[in-house]
Chain A
Amino acid sequence: AQKVTQAQTEISVVEKEDVTLDCVYETRDTTYYLFWYKQPPSGELVFLIRRNSFDEQNEISGRYSWNFQKSTSSFNFTITASQVVDSAVYFCALSEAGKSTFGDGTTLTVKP
């Protein structure tokens, strides 16, 4: 069975701090896909990134970066120089064999 664990329920930082959101997954498949989504206070869910299990290359997009490590079954998300607009619930998700599982989410609060 697939499982996604986001151990950090809530994180609070002050603006300009760097913050890392952890995601650990469990799967028996060799082919799977990992995602991060953002849900700001307005409520919509916004796609951030997708990774397949054969691509361990880390990715950077502006202040966002993702670290995928199959050896530790982790797909962590780092926000550099956080801003108030980064305040949101962040979900990590795993898809395999046509099924999608979301982690419980990490609520990030960035204070000015």
Chain B
Amino acid sequence: DTAVSQTPKYLVTQMGNDKSIKCEQNLGHDTMYWYKQDSKKFLKIMFSYNNKELIINETVPNRFSPKSPDKAHLNLHINSLELGDSAVYFCASSQGRVIRYEQYFGPGTRLTVT
């Protein structure tokens, strides 16, 4: 069974469109994250949710809106997509509210904005 899953794996869309990426974890973890990895492989945290509560919100354009319907799911909605949003987006989960435990990552969603 996949521990952290993301859909879709690939997403190609045009500028200005709105898209969503879904994430689910079956590890029973309390905390979930969204990361963005750019073309240079730099990995930056975007958001973190603990039991459906937003606890980390980095400097991310407000076109990005996370939503956690329950602690096993964390979705990412992106409005008015821009070329610079092209990247690989990783979902992750970990135990506890403080990031003292390792994170388990999903396979990533490669977003290409044309």
**What residues of chain A have their CB less than 8 Å away from a CB belonging to chain B?**
33, 35, 37, 39, 43-47, 50, 52, 89, 91, 95, 97-102, 104-105, 107
Contacts and interface: CB of A to CB of B under 8 A. Distances in A.
B44 interface: yes
A99 B56 contact: yes
Interface in B73-96: 88, 90, 92
Nearest to A35: B102
A contact patch SS: strand
Place the interface of chain B in its size category.
Answer: 20 to 34
Contacts, number: 55
Given A98-B56, A98-B99, A99-B99, A47 B41 contact: no
Nearest to A46: B105
User: Of residues A47, A101, A104, A107, which shows the largest number of chain B Cβ atoms within 10 Å of its Cβ?
Assistant: A47
B99 A104 contact: no
Given A39-B41, A99-B99, 4 more contacts: A43-B108, A102-B45, A105-B41, A105-B43
Contact of B99 (A43, A47, A95): A95
Contacts of A98: 48, 55-56, 97-99
B42 A105 contact: yes
A47 to B, nearest CB: 4
A104 B42 contact: yes
User: Of residues B42, B90, B99, B108, which shows the largest number of chain A Cβ atoms within 10 Å of its Cβ?
Assistant: B99
Contact of A47 (B33, B97, B104): B104
B103 interface: yes
A52 B101 CA distance: 10
Please list the 10 inter-chain residue pairs (A to B) with the smallest Cβ-Cβ separation, ordered nearest first. Answer: A95-B99, A45-B105, A47-B102, A102-B43, A100-B99, A33-B100, A105-B41, A98-B98, A50-B102, A100-B45
User: Of residues A44, A45, A52, A102, which shows the largest number of chain B Cβ atoms within 10 Å of its Cβ?
Assistant: A45
